[in-house]
């Protein structure tokens, strides 16, 4: 099999070099937080870089899935507390993306978090803003804001109890103690667990499984599932029927059926 074409771009440059990197591997974009000297803590450059990365992911018709990772050994320590202490908290967010330029960002394409180290505070909230999580056994997840006299304000307080049983989420938030990758997988927070150093490889395999499917159908399915969270059953049925009606009249449906009948892999459009 031919290796996928790779295109790498540095989206934001800080004093230490590229704060966020964007690499295209076939149909998958790999977005890397690259501030290891500060435990990949979020500063203004990272927030702007992540927003630009999502913009590029959404704009590129040839890229169907994103993988968000970080330079080891820490996935992300959350907000840079030096910036907060200096009164620059607002610089750690963007108007469209919220904290880190990511957690509140509207998007249509799925993003997988590839976690190969601790994801703390805002780092865990970045994972919660992703659609899927692949973690190595070196990963931990924690919402420790209460230990610092703070409150998790980047989505953790409402996203965590939507992923975990309420009492487990409550324990994580009120104690601030971490959960390891194996327990997170058992509880349903993590999709796949891998050996240390292989989270990105495993996330790429998952991304390629997703990218093998019809891109418009994937996006429509994601949109309905996201929108249906917290809705009543009639609203969920309505959203599902609307998405199916659109799918039935699509070129993707015709290609998918033809490929099944002709016993061949489907050839999805890049649009």
Asked about 145 being catalytic, the answer comes back as: yes
* Beta-bridge partner residues of 69: 32
Q: Which residue of the set 19, 125, 145, 252 is catalytic?
A: 145
- Please list the active-site residues: 145
């Amino acid at each position: 099999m031919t290796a996928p074409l790779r295109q790498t771009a540095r989206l934001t440059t800080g004093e230490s070099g590229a704060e966020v990197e964007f690499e295209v591997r076939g149909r998958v974009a790999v977005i890397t937080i690259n501030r290891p000297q500060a435990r990949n803590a979020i500063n203004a450059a990272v927030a702007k870089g992540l927003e630009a990365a999502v913009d590029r992911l959404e704009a590129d018709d040839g890229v169907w899935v994103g993988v968000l990772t970080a330079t080891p050994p820490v996935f992300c320590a959350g907000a840079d507390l030096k910036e907060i202490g200096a009164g620059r908290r607002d610089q750690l967010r963007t108007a469209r993306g919220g904290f880190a330029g990511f957690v509140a960002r509207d998007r249509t394409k799925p993003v997988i978090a590839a976690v190969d180290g601790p994801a703390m505070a805002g780092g865990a909230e970045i994972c919660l803003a992703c659609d899927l999580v692949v973690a190595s056994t070196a990963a931990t997840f924690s919402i420790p804001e209460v230990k610092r006299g703070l409150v998790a304000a980047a989505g953790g307080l409402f996203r965590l109890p939507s992923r975990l049983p309420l009492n487990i989420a409550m324990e994580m938030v009120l104690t601030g103690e971490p959960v390891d990758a194996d327990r997170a997988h058992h509880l349903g927070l993590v999709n796949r667990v891998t050996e240390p150093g292989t989270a990105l490889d495993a996330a790429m395999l998952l991304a390629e499984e997703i990218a093998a499917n019809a891109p418009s159908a994937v996006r429509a399915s994601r949109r309905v599932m996201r929108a249906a969270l917290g809705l009543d059953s009639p609203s969920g049925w309505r959203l599902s029927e609307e998405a199916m009606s659109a799918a039935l009249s699509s070129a993707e449906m015709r290609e998918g059926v033809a490929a099944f009948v002709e016993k061949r892999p489907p050839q999805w459009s890049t649009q």
